Amino acid sequence: MPGLKGRDILSLVELSPKEIALILRRSSILARRKSAPQRLRGKTVAMIFQKPSTRTRVSFETAAAQLGGHAIYLSWNEMQLGRGETISDTAKVLDRYVDAIMARVFSHDDLVALAENADAPVVNGLSDKHHPCQILADLLTLIQYKKRLKGLKLAYVGDGNNVCNSLLVGCAKTGVNIAVARPQGYGPDPDAVRHAREAAAMSGASISILEDPEEAVKAADAIYTDTFVSMGMEKEKDARLSTFIPKYRVNRELLSQAKPGAIFLHCLPAHRGEEVTEDVIDGPQSAVWDEAENRLHTARGLLSLIL
Ligand code: CP
Ligand code: NVA
């Protein structure tokens, strides 16, 4: 394995199962340590945000600080990017100052352009296509609760969005069987499904894309959902809510059809009463706060390996 130093992390597609396992192992070790090794001493991470963020911003900024480094929050519209400076010029300039760039963008192509024009590693903090950092935290949460990954079953109920795409790939690579239940026309990205199927053929995981949430959650160890209206889709809100609700809302009745002891996961932010009911997200089977905490542990694991 060539190692992860200097690597771009644009999606889980480019990472081998061994590399994903390495990040999870490092993250899990760091999760148990109060003080982190100072692997980022003297290093700076630029964090570009084209959309709002709570977890991604704070976990990466805190991770950089705890590892002895420094992170700079850059809002897209307060940079010259907002006035039309190109991604490639921005990447070339940032590359002269910083050691890594993390970016949350609308278009995944912008991340690719950043990575192509900067030698510094570029990390995807969420794009329209993928959310790899979230899924690393989700996999760590599954390990903490279920003590393994291979052979587990995760049911994703709702919109076939960026989080769903990355879950498909992340589960397939780590041997987690995944069933997605979504309405017709709201399925995951066909490229992500193709990559997931290729990875599943190697790991032995099963991938199913279904319409019926009850079928998806049968024998599931975890049920996962995300917002029905991702950032940038606000204009479609009414149409989306009437398509997804009530059939794709995760409620107690649906949770009770999974395995006893199944956990509930959500990348957050959550919209109680839309994709999940209050009694589920705030109930005893919810693992969402540990999942959110794991964003910090996996950010530390990832940064310490790529820098
Ligand atoms: N889950 C997640 O990425 O949260 P933020 O949008 O708050 O970063
Ligand atoms: N699918 C959501 C995830 C937010 C963390 C979005 O893109 O808005």
Q: Is the pLDDT of residue 2 over 70?
A: no
- Identify the pLDDT of residue 3: 85
CA-based max dimension of the chain: 55
- Identify the pLDDT of residue 220: 98
Averaged pLDDT, 208-222: 98
Distance from residue 202's CA to the centre of ligand 1 (Å): 31
Q: Is the pLDDT of residue 137 over 60?
A: yes
Averaged pLDDT, 199-224: 98
Residue 133, classed as helix, strand or coil, is helix
Determine what percent of the chain is predicted with pLDDT higher than 90: 97
The Cα 303–Cα 67 span in angstroms is: 9
Tens of pLDDT along 6-60? Answer: 999 999 999 999 999 999 999 999 999 878 889 999 999 999 999 999 999 999 9
Distance from residue 64's CA to the centre of ligand 1 (Å): 17
Contact between 74 and 101 (Cβ < 8 Å)? no
Q: Is the pLDDT of residue 1 over 60?
A: no
The Cα 161–Cα 130 span in angstroms is: 8
61 φ, ψ (degrees, to nearest 5): -65, -40
- Identify the pLDDT of residue 35: 83
Distance from residue 275's CA to the centre of ligand 2 (Å): 13
Contact between 95 and 118 (Cβ < 8 Å)? yes
- Identify the pLDDT of residue 218: 98
**Which amino acid belongs to residue 76?**
W
Q: Whose CA is nearest to atom 3 of ligand 2?
A: 230
Q: Is the pLDDT of residue 167 over 60?
A: yes
Tens of pLDDT along 244-294? Answer: 999 999 999 999 999 999 999 999 999 999 999 999 999 999 999 999 999
Q: What residues pair up with 53 in beta bridges, in sequence order?
A: none
Other beta carbons less than 10 A from residue 164's beta carbon: 27
Q: Is the pLDDT of residue 208 over 90?
A: yes
Name the residues annotated as catalytic.
104, 131, 134, 226, 267, 295
Q: Domains, the chain, ranges and CATH? A: 12-130+293-306 (3.40.50.1370), 134-292 (3.40.50.1370)
pTM value surpassing 0.95: yes
Which residues does ligand 2 sit against, CB inside 6 Å?
126, 161-163, 226-227, 230-231, 267
- The residue among 71, 11, 218 whose CA lies nearest residue 208 is 218
